[in-house]
Amino acid sequence: MDIEALRTSTLAFVEAHKVWTPLIAGGLAFCESIAILSLFVPATVILVGIGALVGGADIPLWPVIGAAAVGASLGDWLSYEVGRWVGPGARTKWPLRRYPDLVAKAETFIGRWGIAAVALGRFFGPARALVPLLAGTLGLARLPFQLANVASALVWAFVLLAPGAGLLAWLDR
């Protein structure tokens, strides 16, 4: 199957089921933001693809961005709350105990940048789901965490989805 046929058939599927696109984007962003689940779901690559499909299938972009931002915010919030519940002992439990260097680097990053680490961490692959979990274990305050969480989720969703949507819409003209 050539690339054009694959593109056409994929766009046809999205076009036929475009009402589900925001829900799918939100679910993928949620999975991407959960500390352990993010290791098993290649959501970033799929979301970039969805961004391109949005532009080619006349799917409204803003509901997809909004749903992805909500999913990412909820996933980070859940990871943060798990971190608060487990506490500092989280680093001695699976899977964190398998990556002591990564945990130490993330804790140093949070210690240096504070709440800004939550916003910055969202844009760095391995840190994306780890920073909220460790922010919870380190006891960062909830309100500043949530403000950074929601604001960065909106920017992250836009940065991930909009370029592909704009490019494919431009190419289809």
How many Å apart are CA 107 and CA 117, to the nearest integer?
10
Question: What is the pTM (predicted TM-score) of this model?
Answer: 0.85
pLDDT of residue 54: 83
How many structural domains comprise the chain? 1
Which tens digit of pLDDT belongs to each residue from 7-36? 566 556 666 788 888 998 999 899 889 877
Q: Name the residue range of residue 28's domain.
A: 3-172
- For the chain, give the mean pLDDT: 85
Calculate the CA 125 to chain-centre distance: 9
pLDDT of residue 59: 85
Phi, psi torsion values for 58, nearest 5 degrees: 55, 45
Where residue 169 falls among pLDDT bands split at 50, 70, 90? low
- Mean pLDDT value across residues 102-130: 86
Q: Is 100 exposed, middle or buried (0-12, 13-18, 19+ CB in 10 A)?
A: exposed
pLDDT of residue 120: 92
Helix axes 43-56, 142-172, angle to 10 degrees: 50
Which tens digit of pLDDT belongs to each residue from 119-149? 999 988 767 878 999 999 998 999 999 999 9
Q: Is the pLDDT of residue 80 over 90?
A: yes
How many Å apart are CA 150 and CA 73, to the nearest integer?
6
Q: Is 162 exposed, middle or buried (0-12, 13-18, 19+ CB in 10 A)?
A: middle
Whether cis (ω within 30° of 0) applies to the bond prior to 95 is yes
Q: Is the pLDDT of residue 173 over 70?
A: no
Q: How many CA atoms lie within 13 A of 101 on its CB side?
A: 0
Q: Is the pLDDT of residue 41 over 80?
A: no
